[in-house]
Amino acid sequence: MTFPLSMTRRALVCAVLATTSVWAQAQSIVMSSTTSTEQSGLFSHLLPAFKKASGLDVKVVALGTGQALDMARRGDADVVFVHDQAAEEKFVADGFGIKRLPVMYNDFVLIGPKADPAATKGKDIVAALAKLSAANAAFVSRGDKSGTHAAELRFWKTANLEAAKGKGYRECGCGMGPALNIAASSGAYVLSDRATWLNFKNRADLAILVEGDQRLFNQYGVMVVNPAKHAHVKQADAQKFVDWITSAAGQGVIADYKIGGEQLFFPNAGK
C-alpha cells in the first residue's frame, strides 16, 4: 500500500527539487557564436574539454556574427565568441561586453569551380573579385551580417566594386554550410572560412582558388556580456570559459583540432 507524503515531507521534496533545478541551471552558460566555429566541428572538440576542466556545460547558439552580437545585446547570452573585430570592439565600446580578448585565427579562402571560368586563381582576393564582376560570374554571398559576410563586403569595397558585383551575385541570407551547398550545386564562387571548408563534405566540383592574401586573415575574439546591462548574466561562469579558452590548456585544445592532419585554427590569445 502506498501512503501519501506528509505535508512536511512534501515540502522537503519540493525544496530539494527546486534546489536541484537551480543548481542544474547554474551549471551551464549560453554562448552566442558564429556558424563557422560550430560547422567546422571545433565546438564538438573544444567544449567537452572545457566541461571536464570546469564542470560547466555551454549551450551554443550559432548565428552570423552580427546576429550573435545582437543576441548578446538583448541579454540572451552570457558570452560571445565571434569573428568581426570592428563589430566586437563597438560591442565593448557600447558597454555590452566587458572586454574583448583575441583567441585564435585562420583565414578566408575563395572557393569556386575547379575549371575557374572567371580565371580568379591566385593570391589576390581584390583582383579575383574584379574578374568575377567583369565576367558576371555566379557568386553566393552569405548576406547575413556574419563575420564572413562583413569580410566579403570589405573586399568588394577595396576593389571599388560595392555597386558593381556583377549580374551573377546572389545573397542567400544563410550560414556558411548552406552557402557552400548552394555553390556546390550551382557551380558558383563563394567566400568561406577555411575551417568550415575543410569540414565540408559536399564539395562537388569546388576547390580553393584564392588563398594566401594577407587581407584574408580571420581573427576570432571572445567577450563576457556585461551584467551592468543585463543583471541575469552569469558573469562568473562566463569568465571561467574566457579564462580557460585563453589559457595554455584551452589554446592547446584549439591547436590540437585537425581534419585530415590539417590544423583548422591557430591560437593567439595574448598576442
Query: How confident is the model over 183-204, as a mean pLDDT?
Result: 95
131: exposed, middle or buried (C-beta count within 10 Å: 0-12, 13-18, 19+)?
Answer: buried
Confidence of residue 5 (pLDDT cuts 50, 70, 90): very low
Q: Give CA angle at 40 (212, 115), nearest 5°.
A: 50
- Of the candidates 217, 197, 199, 202, which has an alpha carbon nearest to the alpha carbon of residue 266? 217
Predicted local distance difference test score (pLDDT) of residue 270: 84
What is d(CA 195, CA 229) in angstroms, rounded to the nearest whole number?
Answer: 33
Query: How confident is the model over 130-144, as a mean pLDDT?
Result: 97
Q: Give CA angle at 139 (90, 186), nearest 5°.
A: 130
**What structural domains and CATH numbers belong to the chain?**
7-106+219-267 (3.40.190.10), 107-216 (3.40.190.10)
Write down the mean pLDDT value for the chain.
91
What is d(CA 11, CA 33) in angstroms, rounded to the nearest whole number?
Answer: 41
What is d(CA 160, CA 29) in angstroms, rounded to the nearest whole number?
Answer: 42
Predicted local distance difference test score (pLDDT) of residue 18: 43
In one-letter notation, the amino acid at residue 149 is H
Whether 12 has a pLDDT exceeding 90, the answer reads no
Confidence of residue 79 (pLDDT cuts 50, 70, 90): very high
Predicted local distance difference test score (pLDDT) of residue 23: 41
What is d(CA 9, CA 80) in angstroms, rounded to the nearest whole number?
Answer: 43
Query: How confident is the model over 44-71, as a mean pLDDT?
Result: 96
Whether 69 has a pLDDT exceeding 70, the answer reads yes
Length of the chain measured in residues = 271
The number of beta carbons lying within 10 Å of the beta carbon of residue 162 is 10
Confidence of residue 180 (pLDDT cuts 50, 70, 90): very high
- Tens of pLDDT, residue by residue over 105-122, are 999 999 999 999 999 999
Predicted local distance difference test score (pLDDT) of residue 46: 97
Query: How confident is the model over 222-250, as a mean pLDDT?
Result: 98
C-alpha to C-alpha distances, 88 to 72, 91, 116, nearest whole angstrom = 11, 5, 35
Predicted local distance difference test score (pLDDT) of residue 207: 98
Query: How confident is the model over 17-28, as a mean pLDDT?
Result: 51
DSSP string computed for 133-193 = HHHT--EEE--SS-HHHHHHHHHHHHTT-TT---TTEEE----HHHHHHHHHHHT-EEEEE
Q: What percent of the chain has pLDDT over 70?
A: 90
Residues 6+ apart with CB under 8 A from 33: 43, 60, 61, 62, 63, 68, 80, 81, 82
Whether 265 has a pLDDT exceeding 50, the answer reads yes
Whether 129 has a pLDDT exceeding 70, the answer reads yes
Predicted local distance difference test score (pLDDT) of residue 20: 38
Whether 264 has a pLDDT exceeding 70, the answer reads yes
| Cell representation of residue 104 | 585564435
User: β-pairing, 28-34 with 57-63?
Assistant: parallel
In one-letter notation, the amino acid at residue 127 is A
